[in-house]
Structure 1
């Protein structure tokens, strides 16, 4: 008699095969609206989605928002209107492989390419020579660090960064605690294709998750950029974050970046502070941006 798990496996295979071919769910009305209000530009033959709102008339201030993993620019929708009351331009994009942007496969996704896409977007909008405020979260924090490194090197064609505000990103590999699902997808194995499809193939792809390895490899480059620049830097932190745990993360951050200011939100705020506590997040950011 065969082992029970073999019989279960044989019974589950046709069900799993059917599931893998189920089309993705329809977009909600809110996401439809977000997409229709945005635009696309082309980067090396790939379509990149972005939002660009004009806010305060006469203000020179521009803020560029960099979203996290595994989501999209829609992460910022709860604070979008509040930002338009302070900035002349509020800009956000879906990184390659995320949201409404193209998702080529196979493709070697990298933080370096995502940073180049941000630069290309600002050139597309004619803002390459303007001073930019960066506001980032999670995965976007690492992209912001690469942009900061390029700015520090004073390379032509790079962004001129006025300020940087990070939030709940694993900028230190040694204090980052990836979720079990992230580990399984990043490292591969027989479960990876199944988990990938179950959790939306185009979001949870092994290629996108390689940023975790890149962060370890280029720690000196990216953390060094944060530690060496003189622009205002701030960190907004939801302390219940299981990926960047309290107090280990915060202790290392303050030790490594003593010049940076920090806003700690309420104890119940976790990894997505701009969604969990949009007013607290917005107030913290405005307090920082109005301080210089």
Structure 2
């Protein structure tokens, strides 16, 4: 039996070594177009990709889009044009470690740093004194809550939040159910490097996955910001979400965040509502924005 495992290991190790050095695939035409429409700025010597589009005439409203894990600003591509038709300025970025932004390794990624990246972008674009609307998803929800905390507490003065719309984020550790792969990457020092390459997620690092632990550690800070703010709040929710399952998540949200309005989309919409139902998502968001 021992000899059998030795032979398997001798065969698999060189095959794995070859696979790990296969270069990443070329970008699709759609991603190339998205990339070419963006630009970069520097945050602590790291390059951060962002898009900044001017849209509706006669409006001064600005919306900043905060994407989820493990993807990028491209998550907003299906609703980008309609947003630019309704807002003066639409801005999205790839967080550090994601998408077209730099991916330093090793690096201790944190929600606090990502919030500072957003603040730095706001300052770079000359929007420090401008009240901005935040539209966030998943991982971006937690970054938005840190920004909300800083805005309400006047900690940095770099960003003034006019409104916040969240979507399908693990706001409450008690209702969050990470997928098996997320759990393995978060907790396993041995498996993480292998799984990163085998799943072809170039941003999957143990450091990035620590945001799940950070949500638990800083729950009072971020949930406290959500429950105490006077900023208009809305939640757009896809109820088939396996990470934040229905009805536990919504019950908890309504129990704790009583000042927020809520849109629950059709029952077949899951974790990425802006991609699965862009029309329903946009209708919900515009109804929220027009309500105040």
TM superposition score normalised by structure 1:
0.98
Match of residue 127 from structure 1: 127
- Is 1:256–2:228 an aligned residue pair? no
Could you tell me how far apart the structure 2 residues matched to 1:145 and 1:181 are? Answer: 25
Match of residue 279 from structure 2: 279
| 1:122-172 Cα deviation digits (max 9, x unpaired) | 110001100000000000000000000001112342311110000000000
Match of residue 59 from structure 1: 59
Match of residue 38 from structure 1: 38
Could you tell me how far apart the structure 2 residues matched to 1:176 and 1:93 are? Answer: 25
Unaligned segments of structure 1, at least 5 residues: none
SS in 1 for 2:122: helix
Unaligned segments of structure 2, at least 5 residues: none
- Is 1:207–2:199 an aligned residue pair? no
Match of residue 83 from structure 2: 83
Cα drift, residue 191 of structure 1: 1.8
Contact 2:189–2:206 (8 Å) recurs in 1: no
Cα drift, residue 3 of structure 1: 5.4
Cα drift, residue 201 of structure 1: 5.3
| 1:205-255 Cα deviation digits (max 9, x unpaired) | 111100000000000000000000111100000000000000000000000
> Superposed, which structure 2 residues align to 1:72-221 within 5 Å?
72-200=72-200, 202-221=202-221
Contact 2:241–2:269 (8 Å) recurs in 1: yes
User: Quick one: structure 1 residues 174 and 3, their matched pair in 2 at CA, closer, same or farther if it must change by over 3 Å?
Assistant: farther
When the two chains are superposed, the root-mean-square deviation of aligned CA atoms in Å is 1.1
Cα drift, residue 200 of structure 1: 3.1
Could you tell me how far apart the structure 1 residues matched to 2:156 and 2:28 are? Answer: 42
Cα drift, residue 58 of structure 1: 2.2
Alignment coverage as a number of residue pairs: 292
Contact 2:49–2:93 (8 Å) recurs in 1: yes
Runs of 4+ off more than 4 Å: none
SS in 2 for 1:196: helix
| 1:87-127 Cα deviation digits (max 9, x unpaired) | 00000000000000000111110000000010000110001
Cα drift, residue 57 of structure 1: 1.4
| 1:44-84 Cα deviation digits (max 9, x unpaired) | 11100000000001211000000000000000000001101
TM superposition score normalised by structure 2:
0.98
SS in 2 for 1:202: coil
Cα drift, residue 199 of structure 1: 2.1
- Is 1:290–2:290 an aligned residue pair? yes
SS in 2 for 1:63: strand
SS in 2 for 1:106: coil
SS in 2 for 1:8: helix
